Amino acid sequence: LSRAFRDNQSHLKLVLLCTAVSGGGLWAYGESVAPEEAVSEKKKVVVLGTGWAATSFMKNLKNPKYEVQVVSPRNYFAFTPLLPSVTCGTVEARSIVEPVRNIFKKKVDVQFSEAECFKIDAENRKVYCRSSVNNNLNGKEEFVVDYDYLIVAVGANVNTFNTPGVTENCHFLKEVEDAKKIRRTVIDCFERANLPDVSEDEKKRILHFAIVGGGPTGVEFAASLHDFVNEDLLRLYPGIKDLVKITLLEAGDHILGMFDKRITTFAEDKFRRDGIDVKTGSMVVKVSEKEISTKELKNGGEIKTIPYGMAVWSTGIGTRPFIKDFMAQIGQASRRALATDEWLRVEGCSNVYALGDCATINQRKVMEDIVAIFKKADKESSGTLTVKQFQEVMKDICERYPQVELYLKNKQMHNIADLLKEAKGDDKKESIELNIEELKTALSKVDSQMKFLPATAQVASQQGTYLAKCFNRMEECEKNPEGPLRFRGEGHHRFKPFRYKHLGQFAPLGGEQTAAQLPGDWVSIGHSSQWLWYSVYASKQVSWRTRALVVSDWTRRFIFGRDSSSI
């Protein structure tokens, strides 16, 4: 049993669990393993990264006809949605990581190199890598890997918007190491403030925790920190109880701007009740060792300084430098992420695929898609849509591309009907005469740089699964291009294009309350959603081992509270 769990043999595990639960009646099914292919026939697939996109690709790649080389500076997969819980010790860092070698399919020939790619040469089909493990001979070692297919899934950098002092003075919350560092720093702040001879003002400064960015990560971290401080730390440090302060700084008008208005309002009210200072319209312009300078957008741009003890920067993502170089090489220098078509193939080079946070599906293609939806509606309605019909079409579009909705919400336009009406300069129309050219003009107002799919684990993992399925059938389709999988109609690719299925999103708000926004604009906020959150995140774990560890950490926290030692 223990070997089956160790080897991550999910079928065997299921059988063993069923046997254990039912007390017998062992059943099993066989899985035919394709005969080994001659090595020379195998195509070489190089995968860069071991995050959500790459891991989901590797988990679903079943065809033994590939020789796969995975290159990543991390030899483990990290379950990022639980990183905020690691910052406060609600779950331990090791509970949310799984060694990638446990995840790879046994029947596919996979090699892993712990190294980072620093250059892609698409013309000669080579990637240049640098080992991240120091060897005693010559420090850092470089090597070159050839590929037939390259899969770029290297995620993104933290975006500091070149704000002075951020890199030197702020914590980020992107990697497991970041979360561990934050946990140690929070406890260090309490210990420093508790030392003798520290003035009251200095204690206040040290115990001021500033979080920059009111998106889901910043909000969840603020909520987790508030729980940690109030449920565990204040009991241990009663003398400095009244000096602790948490401030959440957001440049926009509201926190959680990408969520439904009901959730935004609930979160802001809850944070105010909890004593978390939410400062909206506050743009950070500089961070020094002890002070944060903000530009108050609501107060005519007044500059304010806020003393702080620890700052966490969580304002979004940027492009990794070697991806920028690659983009310049293939004529995508003006973009913010690698542009792909809807089959996830990078535009401007062949046999390179990009997925996850480092990629974006080309906006032109998305526009064509949106226009196609309208054309279909046009056919059904013979040229005129009522505003209601129009909103239904928009629902279809927003389900497929949630970022369109976000863009419209940010612009205080709740559907494209408003946008279109604005383009026509007529706000009172009850029905809309559908003119595709007019529509294109309206849509061209949408920022050409925007990412149409959100940068989430959900998108990355769906893209990984999709691409693995394409790779599993690649040869079959090449041999039989007119077969049933051929994508007819547009006729330019043998697979169906990638379609994102939005399954909803969570925003944990602390105090065992979570906001959930599920498809169909279904919103639920409170304790029941927190239990939904627990079940979804337990079920989404990549292995039974991490699932067991995470659930036991939650149980430990319920019984004994969080550990506040600074190791």
Which residues of this chain interact with ligand FAD, rule CB under 6 A?
48-54, 71-74, 80-81, 83-84, 116-117, 153-155, 173-174, 217, 320, 322, 356-358, 455-458, 460
Closer residue to ligand FAD, CB minimum distance, 49 or 309: 49
Closer residue to ligand FAD, CB minimum distance, 54 or 352: 54
Closer residue to ligand FAD, CB minimum distance, 116 or 418: 116
Question: Distance between CA 317 and CA 312 in Å, rounded?
Answer: 14
Q: How far is the CB of 354 from ligand FAD (least distance, A)?
A: 9
Q: How far is the CB of 262 from ligand FAD (least distance, A)?
A: 19
Closer residue to ligand FAD, CB minimum distance, 50 or 340: 50
Closer residue to ligand FAD, CB minimum distance, 213 or 309: 213
Closer residue to ligand FAD, CB minimum distance, 98 or 357: 357
| Closest by CA position to 96, among listed 1, 13, 179, 156 | 179
Measured between alpha carbons, how far is residue 89 from residues 469, 542, 553, 567 in Å? 38, 20, 9, 11
| Closest by CA position to 516, among listed 399, 554, 508 | 508
Q: What is the amino acid identity at position 448?
A: S
Tokens 């393993």 belong to 33
Q: How far is the CB of 360 from ligand FAD (least distance, A)?
A: 11
Q: How far is the CB of 49 from ligand FAD (least distance, A)?
A: 3
Closer residue to ligand FAD, CB minimum distance, 203 or 320: 320
Q: How far is the CB of 263 from ligand FAD (least distance, A)?
A: 14
Rounded to 5 degrees, φ, ψ at 142 are -110, 150
Q: How far is the CB of 116 from ligand FAD (least distance, A)?
A: 4
Q: How far is the CB of 108 from ligand FAD (least distance, A)?
A: 19
Closer residue to ligand FAD, CB minimum distance, 49 or 214: 49
Measured between alpha carbons, how far is residue 14 from residues 27, 61, 95, 220, 536 in Å? 10, 21, 21, 34, 19
Q: What share of the chain is helix, strand, coil (3-state, %, to 5)?
A: 45, 20, 35
Closer residue to ligand FAD, CB minimum distance, 50 or 169: 50
**Which tokens in the block code for residue 287?**
């961070």
Contact 519, 399 (CB under 8 A): yes
Question: Distance between CA 462 and CA 366 in Å, rounded?
Answer: 18
Question: Distance between CA 341 and CA 369 in Å, rounded?
Answer: 12
Question: Distance between CA 560 and CA 116 in Å, rounded?
Answer: 40
| Closest by CA position to 398, among listed 374, 381, 415, 419 | 415
Closer residue to ligand FAD, CB minimum distance, 362 or 415: 362
Classify 455 as helix, strand or coil.
coil
Question: Distance between CA 541 and CA 49 in Å, rounded?
Answer: 18
| Dihedral, 267, 270, 272, 274 alpha carbons, nearest 10 | -130
Q: How far is the CB of 38 from ligand FAD (least distance, A)?
A: 29
Q: Which residues pair with 112 in a beta bridge?
A: 70
Q: How far is the CB of 18 from ligand FAD (least distance, A)?
A: 31
Contact 256, 406 (CB under 8 A): no
Q: Which residues pair with 94 in a beta bridge?
A: none
Closer residue to ligand FAD, CB minimum distance, 47 or 394: 47
Three-state SS annotation for 347-373? CCCCCEEECHHHEEECHHHHHHHHHHH
Closer residue to ligand FAD, CB minimum distance, 155 or 420: 155
CA atoms within 13 A on the CB side of 435: 9
Q: How far is the CB of 73 from ligand FAD (least distance, A)?
A: 5
Closer residue to ligand FAD, CB minimum distance, 172 or 495: 172
Q: How far is the CB of 72 from ligand FAD (least distance, A)?
A: 4
Q: How far is the CB of 427 from ligand FAD (least distance, A)?
A: 36
Sign of the dihedral defined by the CA atoms of residues 167, 169, 175, 177, in that order: positive
Q: How far is the CB of 270 from ligand FAD (least distance, A)?
A: 19
Q: What is the amino acid identity at position 411?
A: K
Question: Distance between CA 123 and CA 113 in Å, rounded?
Answer: 23
Which residue of the chain is nearest ligand FAD when measured via CB? Answer: 51
**Which tokens in the block code for residue 20?**
């254990």
How many residues can be counted in the chain? Answer: 567
Closer residue to ligand FAD, CB minimum distance, 61 or 419: 61
Q: What is the amino acid identity at position 503?
A: L
Q: How far is the CB of 48 from ligand FAD (least distance, A)?
A: 4
CA atoms within 13 A on the CB side of 226: 27
